[in-house]
Each structure stands twice: as structure tokens, then as C-alpha cells.
Structure 1
Amino acid sequence: MGTAAPLIGAYTLLIVSPGPDFLAVFKASASRSRITGLYVAAGIVTGITAWALTGLLGAATLIDHCRWLYITVRTVGGLFLVYLGVCTTLAARRAEQPGKAEGIGTTPRTRGGREPGRAVQSWRLGLATNLTNPKQMTFFGAVFATLVPQVNLGHKTVLFVVMLAIAAGWYGVVAVLASQPVVTRGYQRVRRGVDMTMGLLFVCIGGALISGCA
């Protein structure tokens, strides 16, 4: 298990570093409710599960080494981030008009955190955000695929469970903290500016991915 420490260390840094996944969970919890943020987090963990399985099966390595496939996945991810950014920016511009701030993760907060019919939508948002995240593809196609073959099946299973636990724990904490009253009140005061900045950031990251600059 000598490879476990550097692998878990690199993975932890990947998870806690700010990026689309973090922003999606934070925004969902701060603008809607804790449970919505947790649904988004669940979608992200589902995406990580899929990436980890592709890494174990060698598919992630294929994507990482097959140039045209890598470019395709990166472009799709970039287009999704641009779409997400445009929706967020437009919703932020309409935020001052009551009833018209309906964008991704921009509906009003709900009392008690219950949003019937939005669970699947929030989960799918988290899943799509993670699956189109190039950082995940690079990690599982390069670092993960390189180090994991050096351990046996039992150790692979332990690593798999630990990595999912780290992701679930981190994004769960983000969802809980972002839904605290002091955070939500502060977010609501500067929501329009934050959402505009977040939307433009998504567009810039997506554009960089499409152009190959990221």
C-alpha cells in the first residue's frame, strides 16, 4: 500500500481545490436549501464513482491517451460549463425582477429544505458538472490509472471506498456550511454580483477548455 498515501493525497487536493463541483454545491445550498446542495453533492459523488470505475477498467487511460477522444470529452465539458455559465449570468441579470430569476441553482430558498420534484434535477446537475470536469478525467486517466495497478484487488476496493468517503464528506460539509443562516444572509445580500462573477467564471473556464488553453 505504499502507493496509497500519494494517491489519496493527490485526490484530496483535487477534491478540496475550488472548481465547478465546489461552486455547484455551494450555490445550490446557499441559494436554495441544504438538501438541494446535498442532492447536487450526491450527483457529484456518483460522477466520481463512474470516473473511478473507468479508471479501474482502464477506460480513463484510453481517453487520456486517445487524442481525439480526449478532445471530444474536453470540448463537451467546455460546452456544458459555458451553458451553465450563461444560464447563471442571465438569471443573475434578471434577479431584480420578481419571479424571473429562474436559472440553474437560482430558485428562491425553500423553508424546511423541501423541494418536491427537484431532487433528480439537482442530482443530475451534480452528475453532469462532475462528468464534464476535465480535472477528473486527467486524474483518473493518469495518476489513478498509473498507481492503482500496483495494488491488489482488496487494496483497490479500500482505496475506492476511501476516495468516495472523502468526496462525500467534503461536499457534504460544503453543503451544510453553505446553508447556514449567516452564509445565506450574506449570499443573498451580494447574490447578484456573486452569480454574475460565477457565471462569467464558468464561461471563461469552458472557453479555455474548448480552445485547448486549459
Structure 2
Amino acid sequence: MIPLQEISYFALAALLLVISPGPNMIYLISRSITQGQRSGLISLAGIISGFLFHIIMVSAGLTAVLFAVPFVYSTIKTLGVLYLLYLAYQAIKPNGKSLFEVRQDLPNDKPAKLFKIGVLTTILNPKVAVFYLSFFPYFIKPEYGSVFIQSLQLGITQVSISFTVNFIIVLTASKVALFFSKSPGWVKIQKWFMASILASLAIKMALSKEK
């Protein structure tokens, strides 16, 4: 099992993933505002199912190849550092998307379609795939036991955080979006705070010792 301290670092990274602007969050908030909380929750169920797909695929792949090739870890760690720095830049770049930017032109879809779109939005979201491929190898170590079990442990942590945050946002989407639209100062603070944390995680990952 992965130690609690390491899980805490991973949980922070997972939190930043879920609150950073991206296809999942923008679609989920837009759907909640335009079609109601019930539709938002159905879409959320689809998004979580998409996460589970990524977790199973990445866990199986890491178990098979992660420690088979010596330079795999170094390569993936480098990609992880670059990805974090990219997210930090995306958070503060001029004219970047606000966390609560929404689409008002979405059609009223039936539950089955809402769920399907949620699943596909996650499966086809490169940010999710890169997150798993970048972060899982960094936190998984042979001395902690089964690579597959460690992958599932990280996956369950990420899904739990994602579900909790998104569930709260679905229930409060309209109020939160209105607050941020009227409080540009808070939006700037949120962006710079997120960028600082992402950059700090990138430095920590870059300075970590090889396995």
C-alpha cells in the first residue's frame, strides 16, 4: 500500500486536475446550468465511468511495462513535469478560459445520451489520460507491493475527489458561476494560486530521485 503522505500529495494533484478548466468541467457546469441538477448528475455519472475506464487501462498497462524498460520511468516523469508546467501556464495565460465559463447553446438531451456524452468526454479527454500516465508511475514503487493494487489505490483516490468536487459544483453551479462572473478578482486569485501549486508540484517531481 502507498503511504499516507504520498497519497496526500497525489490527492492534491488530483484536486488540481478536477478544478482546472477542461472539457469535463466546462461541459458538466454548462449542462447543470442549462438543463438542471438532475441532468448534471447523470452527466457526472458518465464522467466517473470514463475515469474508471482510464484507471483499468492504465493499471493494466503499468503492471505490464512500467518496470520492464529502464528509461520508461524517467521519460514519463519528464512528461509529467512538462504537463504540470503546461497546466500552470494555461491557468494564467492571457484570455484563458475561466473555470466557470459555460455554454448556453446545449440541447436538452435524454438521460442515456447525457450519460454517454459524459463517458466519451472523459475517455477522449487527453488531460485525463496524460494525468494518469504522468502521475501513477511517480507514486508507484515496487517496495509498496503490487503495482496493480497501487494503481487501483491511486485511481480510487482520484475518482473519490473528482466525484466529491463535481457533485458539489453540480448542486451549486448557477450560484458559483454567478459569483465568479461578478468577482473577477477572485478569478485571478484562483488562477495564480493554482499556477503556483502546479509549478511547485512540477519542481518536486523534477527533483525526485530515480527509482
TM-score for both structures, normalised by structure 1: 0.59
- Cα pair distance change 1:199/1:119, threshold 3 Å: same
Aligned partners of 1:206 and 1:161: how far apart in 2?
23
Aligned partners of 2:106 and 2:167: how far apart in 1?
12
* Aligned partner letter, 2:75: T
SS at match of 1:203: helix
Mapped pair 1:83 → 2:86 = yes
Aligned partners of 2:47 and 2:87: how far apart in 1?
14
Aligned partners of 1:43 and 1:201: how far apart in 2?
26
Partner residue of 1:176? Answer: 167
**Identity %, equivalent residues:** 12
C-alpha RMSD over aligned residues: 4.6
Q: Is the 8 A contact 1:52 1:140 kept in 2?
A: no
Aligned partners of 1:198 and 1:75: how far apart in 2?
20
Partner residue of 1:123? Answer: 125
Partner residue of 1:209? Answer: 205
* Deviation, structure 1 residue 113: 7.2
- Cα pair distance change 1:106/1:40, threshold 3 Å: farther
* Deviation, structure 1 residue 194: 0.4
Q: Is the 8 A contact 1:43 1:124 kept in 2?
A: no
Aligned partners of 2:47 and 2:127: how far apart in 1?
6
Structure 1, unmatched stretches of 5+, are 1-6, 95-100, 150-155
Partner residue of 1:34? Answer: 28
Partner residue of 1:22? Answer: 15
Q: 1:61 aligns with which of 56, 60, 67?
A: 67
Structure 2, unmatched stretches of 5+, are 31-42, 108-113
- Cα pair distance change 1:27/1:111, threshold 3 Å: farther
* Deviation, structure 1 residue 33: 4.6
Note the alpha carbon deviations across 1:135-154, whole angstroms, 9 max, x for none: x214444366x2479xxxxx
Q: 1:48 aligns with which of 40, 46, 55?
A: 55
* Aligned partner letter, 1:32: I
Partner residue of 1:70? Answer: 73
